[in-house]
Structure 1
Amino acid sequence: MSDFINLLDNQKTYFYTDDYKVVKRLELLKRLKNILIEEEENIYEALKIDFNKSRVESYMTEFSQILNELNYFIKNIKRLTKKRYVANDIKTLFSSKNYVQYVPYGSVLIMCEFSLPFYFSFIPLIASIACGNTVFIKLADYAPTCSKLIFKIIGAIFKKSQVIVLDETLDEEKMKEIYSLNFDLVFFAGTQKKGKSIIKEFAPRNIETKVFLINKNPLVIDRTANLELAAKKIVWAKAINSGLTFYGPNFILIHESIYNSFIENFKKEWESQYLLNDEYKANYTKIPTPQLFNDLVKIIEQNRSKIIFGGDYDKEKQTIDITLIESENLKSSIMLTDILGPILPVIKYNNISDIFGVIEHNKTPNSIYLFTKDKELIKEVDTMIDSKLLVVNDVMIQIFKKVPIGGIGNSGNISCKRLHSFTSFSYPKVFIKSRKNSFKYRYVNGHDDFEKFKKKF
């Protein structure tokens, strides 16, 4: 226990030194970029070992995202961290010099339970360092090869007074010791169950906790949709990382009139993209841990009679084909289960009110996907459903855009990427210096001067 306390105390001391100014942090980010480029092939190899990921998918979902984030902060860190002048509301009243500057919280704990190991290690780390925080980062235990490489990269650049890397194999008792430390900010990405327990752990000490949580993201296909295009994009998106993403679709709501046609298109796309494509088939992402694989297989077997498509898996390769399972209603066991993998429950609907009823039951998804040509439906979904993201006629393209990802409500309380990452890992500090003769009428309370007061104000 004392070791962790000493490490955190050393970071808190270092935080106030001149060694951690903007120029130093900019240098660290540039060095991180250089070493990541040097380690690019090793990153692809690590993702291949832990996930069987292709180079293309690894570049799209992890490496390019991290480089883009680094490039943004390297270019903008000086602008983001400087004081900004704020004008007085009315120049002659309460005259003062006013500034706002985003400043670091201090010591930050970063943890990720599932999903993209490099992305969810480096994206919050880069923002934290850019803001001026010191960091404890807990590596993912589901991707051991990736974690070892992340440990190596961070250790080659950062001193322990700047970043502490916690071993991915830390047991529950050691993690309790970590949770007992007085961090200034905690970031967690993972399941709702784990996220809520972490919030509960730190809330009594008023330690701010920002979470990005897995929630049930709906994908709606209405009768006007281009079914061939929808099937193509859904197969592509659900295969990414074997469905282990925070922002991918978790269930399908489809108008009953196009149900059969969509399933046929889906089968064709699966065959085209994977079964008949040897390269894609060889690089189909595997489930990272035996426990998670067995949990998903259990869901498939328990719902075997309701499988519309798929249901095949390979125990040796630890892969599971994309599987569509029919769900009659919201109370079915599969809709009450958190599914972290390539399984999609499918619910038929008849009218628009059904859509809102289903999504309302799974409040505040972090993403909503809608395939339609109906402009009125787009407006209704946008207006009626609370979510940080609505994507029309596509799936998961937000990860390739300069837009924030994150959640509200059941999906979390943070936005990440670029400026949004910066403001998530810092807070605005206000500086006001009043002028000597600032609005003398504020000291007058007499009725006779009220009209003058109003005119001046």
Structure 2
Amino acid sequence: MSAVLEKALLKAREAFHRNVTKDVNFRIKQLQQLKRCLNDNKEEFVKALNADFRKPRMEAVITEIDFVNKDIDYQLSHIRDFIKPKYAEKKGLSTFLDTCYIKHEPFGVVLIFSAWNYPIQLLLCPLIGAIAAGNCAIIKPSEISSNTEKMMAELLPRYLDRECYHIVTGGPEEATRMLNERFDLIFYTGSTAIGKVIYKSASKFLTPVVLELGGKSPVYMDDSINMEIAVRRLLWGKCMNGGQVCIAPDYLLCTKEVKEKFINVANKVLKEFFEGDSKNSESFARIINDKNFNRLQNLINSTNGKIVIGGDTDKETRYISPTIVTDVISADALMKEEIFGPILPIITIDSVEEAIEFIKRGEKPLTMYLFTNKKQVYQKFIDETSSGSLVVNETMLQMTVEELPFGGVGESGIGSYHGRFSFETFSHKKSVMIKDYNPIVEFLASVRYPPYNENKLKKLQMLVGHSIVDEINLGKFLRYFLTFSLGIIATITVFILNEKFL
């Protein structure tokens, strides 16, 4: 373990054991400080994102700065409600006078790994949940988006409590050292391959994990739609951040007729988006590094499909144009991995059923996009497929709805967050039951004690096997009420006799 990590862990554990983060006012102050950090340094963050991969200013502000600010505001507005105990409403006769509730308590010291493609959002949104729930945190930004990583390392310690929250920088070696240590929860955003490594490492300590991964998110499109609007929405989602988005549309399934219409409209839309020159457009990001550029270049060179739009590249600036490829089959290079770039393969299908079958043959995706106005069609996808989310006639915007959990299923992830779900993810739900020595309750529950017999068994089943709230059978209710009344009468009688003869 490096000296920096060792010191950070020691400080965080000591702070948590002193219950520093248990105070809701402390949590609120830290969230407010995090917001100040973003807003005080907004332009510097925008510049860092642009230096990393020429992220357009509008995308940097909306999808990074404003997105995180909105998440902070949500937690600040709801945190006092979130921390309130949630009382059990349905209890049986044996526990109806007991106090039973769920207490949300922090896990302890959590470890957060972020990804490079949204280096502010994907680092700070999990941290927001960790803070709101009362955890201490060690956070590891991605070294790939190096300019943003450097800013985070410099700025966060100036605004956040230095005992409870620590940022540790470095490459894969430092991440490996982290995984050799014991944490109370690990939150990771990134590739499925690395997610599996983290899952295995966490198993040594039975550490709970949240894995926000990816996959090939499909798009289905039919002829019932407004084609121009649908193409705009799809290509906006595909081209955002240069296609380097975990929920970006990965490939399109449609009939031959829809494909022809799509290509015609896509040509027009892309020219409008980037004013006929995506290479020099300030609205189109670059690929993050040479490794990812080369991977995407190889996909373009290896496909057996027909490139009908784009296909242009420039290694010096890591530019890859918005590219659409038709006549793609399932065995094609473009279908072997998540594309994570501005390349859209189109696979021709003949029916809804064929599209669903194609999707189901692959791993469960992080999201699924449907462009159709036919309710029976999108309902069929909802009922017959599995994905982290499913969106009809839109792309990407499911991320902005705080009341929807964001997360995958199967190989696209474990667990979810955003809004209340962030607080829930970083909280242990502790069951609490408080019982007193009420003689009536004790009399009713005395049938549980040995020696056992069939009569006691029947009475105990009646006591523990039914919820008072759910019980609607009048006959059974009357029997319960009679038993309860007899218990009260018996107890009062005992008290009177004791008073009379003592």
Q: Fold-level match, TM-score > 0.5?
A: yes
Whether the aligned pair in 2 keeps the contact of 1:52 and 1:283 (CA below 8 Å) is: no
Match of 2:136 in 1: 134
The answer on 1:440 being equivalent to 2:445 is: yes
2:302 matches 1:295:
no
Equivalent residue number for residue 316 of structure 1: 316
Which residue pairs with 1:72 in the alignment?
74
Q: What is the match of residue 429 of structure 1?
A: 430
Query: Which deviates more from structure 2 when the two are superposed, residues 329-338 or residues 186-195?
Result: 329-338
| Offset, 1:243 | 0.9
1:156 match: 158
Within 5 Å, which residues of 2 pair with 1:378-393? 378-393=378-393
Shift of 1:179: 0.9
How far the C-alpha of 1:172 sits from its partner, in A, is 3.6
Match of 1:243 in 2: 243
Tell me the matched-pair count: 455
Match of 1:89 in 2: 91
Task: Judge conservation of contact 1:307–1:326 (CA < 8 Å) in 2.
Answer: yes
How far residue 288 of structure 1 moved from its aligned partner, in angstroms, is 1.3
Q: Cα RMSD between the aligned structures?
A: 2.1
Q: What is the deviation of 1:158?
A: 2.4
What percent identity do the matched residue pairs reach? 26
Counterpart residue number, 2:118: 116
In the alignment, residue 39 of structure 1 is paired with which amino acid? Answer: N
Deviation at 1:448, TM superposition (A): 4.2
Give 1:30 shift: 0.9
* Cα distance in structure 2, aligned partners of 1:302 and 1:231: 26
Per the alignment, residue 409 of structure 1 pairs with 410
Q: CA deviation at 1:26?
A: 0.9
Q: Alpha carbons of 1:448 and 1:426: their partners in 2 closer, same or farther (altered >3 Å)?
A: closer
Matched residues in 2 for 1:259 and 1:340: separation?
22
The residue number in structure 2 matching 1:355 is 355
Q: Which moved further from structure 2: 34-43 or 82-91?
A: 82-91
Cα pair 1:311 1:321 within 8 Å, conserved: yes
Asked if 1:339 is matched to 2:339, the reply is yes
2: distance between equivalents of 1:173 and 1:369? 37
Stretch moving more, 55-64 or 170-179? 170-179
Give the gaps of 5 or more residues in structure 1: none
1-side partners of 2:204 and 2:182: how far apart?
Answer: 11
Aligned-pair CA distance for 1:72: 1.0
Relative to structure 1, is the Cα distance of residues 171 and 237 closer, same or farther in structure 2, using a 3 angstrom cutoff? closer
Task: Report the more deviating stretch, 179-188 or 139-148.
Answer: 139-148
Alignment partners' CA distance in 2, 1:198 and 1:376: 40
Between 1:45-54 and 1:86-95, the stretch displaced more is 86-95
> Which residue does 1:179 correspond to in 2?
179
8 Å CA contact 1:114, 1:189 repeated in 2 = no
| Counterpart-to-counterpart distance in 1, 2:350 and 2:222 | 10
Q: 1: CA distance between counterparts of 2:393 and 2:253?
A: 14
Give CA deviations for 1:342-366 in whole Å, capped at 9, x if unaligned.
1122100001221112111223212
- Pairwise CA distance, 1:329: 2.5
2:143–2:171 CA contact under 8 A, matched in 1: no
CA contact (8 A) 1:224 1:373 kept: yes
CA distance in 2, matches of 1:36, 1:100: 34
Structure 1 CA distance for aligned equivalents of residues 46 and 177 of structure 2: 34
In structure 2, the CA distance between the partners of 1:157 and 1:338, relative to structure 1 (3 Å rule), is same
Q: Give ranges in structure 2 of 5+ residues lacking alignment.
A: 463-478, 484-502
Pairwise CA distance, 1:66 = 0.3
1:432 is displaced (CA, Å) by: 0.7
Find the aligned partners of 2:195 and 2:399 in 1 and give their Cα distance.
22
Aligned to 1:106: 108
Q: Deviations over 1:385-412 (max 9, x none)?
A: 0123111111111123222221111110
Corresponding residue of 1:194: 194
Equivalent residue, structure 2, for 1:371: 371
Letter in 2 for 1:179: L
Structure 2 distance, partners of 1:43, 1:361, is: 41
How big is the shift at 1:83? 2.1
CA distance in 1, matches of 2:61, 2:172: 33
Letter in 1 for 2:107: Y
Give the Cα–Cα distance (whole angstroms) in 2 for the partners of residues 290 and 379 of structure 1: 42
- 2:14 is aligned with 1:28: no
Amino acid at match of 2:382: D
Matched, 1:165 2:167: yes
The one-letter code sitting in structure 2 at the alignment partner of 1:7 is A
Tell me, in whole angstroms, the C-alpha distance in 1 between the residues paired with 2:304 and 2:458.
Answer: 79
In structure 2, the CA distance between the partners of 1:452 and 1:432, relative to structure 1 (3 Å rule), is: closer
Give, in whole Å, the separation in 2 of the partners of 1:284 and 1:90: 61
Q: How far has the Cα of 1:279 moved from its partner? A: 11
**1:50–1:146 Cα contact (<8 Å) kept:** yes
Q: In structure 1, what is the Cα distance between the partners aligned to 2:151 and 2:171?
A: 20
AA in 2 matched with 1:443: R
Instruction: Tell me which residue corresponds to 2:20.
Output: 19
Residue 422 of structure 2 aligns to a residue whose secondary structure is: helix
Q: Which moved more, 1:222-231 or 1:118-127?
A: 222-231
Instruction: Provide the C-alpha distance between the structure 2 equivalents of 1:224 and 1:273, rounded to a whole number of angstroms.
Output: 24
Amino acid at match of 1:265: V
In 1, are the aligned partners of 2:369 and 2:392 still within 8 Å (CA)? yes
Which TM-score applies when normalising by structure 2?
Answer: 0.86
- Matched residues in 2 for 1:451 and 1:108: separation? 48
CA shift, 1:296, in A, is 0.9
The structure number with the bigger radius of gyration is: 2
Write the distance in 2 (CA, Å) between the matches of 1:280 and 1:91: 73
SS of the residue 1:386 aligns to: coil
Is 2:291 the partner of 1:284?
Answer: no
- Paired residues of 1:36 and 1:153 also in contact (CA < 8 A): no
Offset at residue 85 of structure 1 (A): 2.5
Matches of 2:395 and 2:339, distance apart in 1: 18
Instruction: Indicate the SS of the match to 1:98.
Output: strand
The Cα offsets for residues 154-193 of structure 1, whole Å up to 9 and x where unpaired, read as 11122442112111xx244333221100011111111111
C-alpha contact (below 8 Å) 2:369/2:391 kept by paired residues: yes
Amino acid paired to 2:191: T
- Is 1:400 matched up with 2:400? yes
Q: Does the Cα contact within 8 Å between 1:114 and 1:244 map onto a contact in 2?
A: no
TM, length-normalised to structure 1: 0.94
Secondary structure at the counterpart of residue 405 of structure 1: coil
Residues 2 and 152 (structure 1 numbering): CA distance in 2 closer, same or farther, change over 3 Å? closer
Does the aligned pair in 1 maintain the 2:311–2:321 contact within 8 Å? yes
Contact 1:88 1:96 in 2 (8 A): no
Structure 2 distance, partners of 1:97, 1:215, is 45
Q: Could you say which residue in structure 1 is the equivalent of 2:65?
A: 63
Contact 1:274 1:281 in 2 (8 A): yes
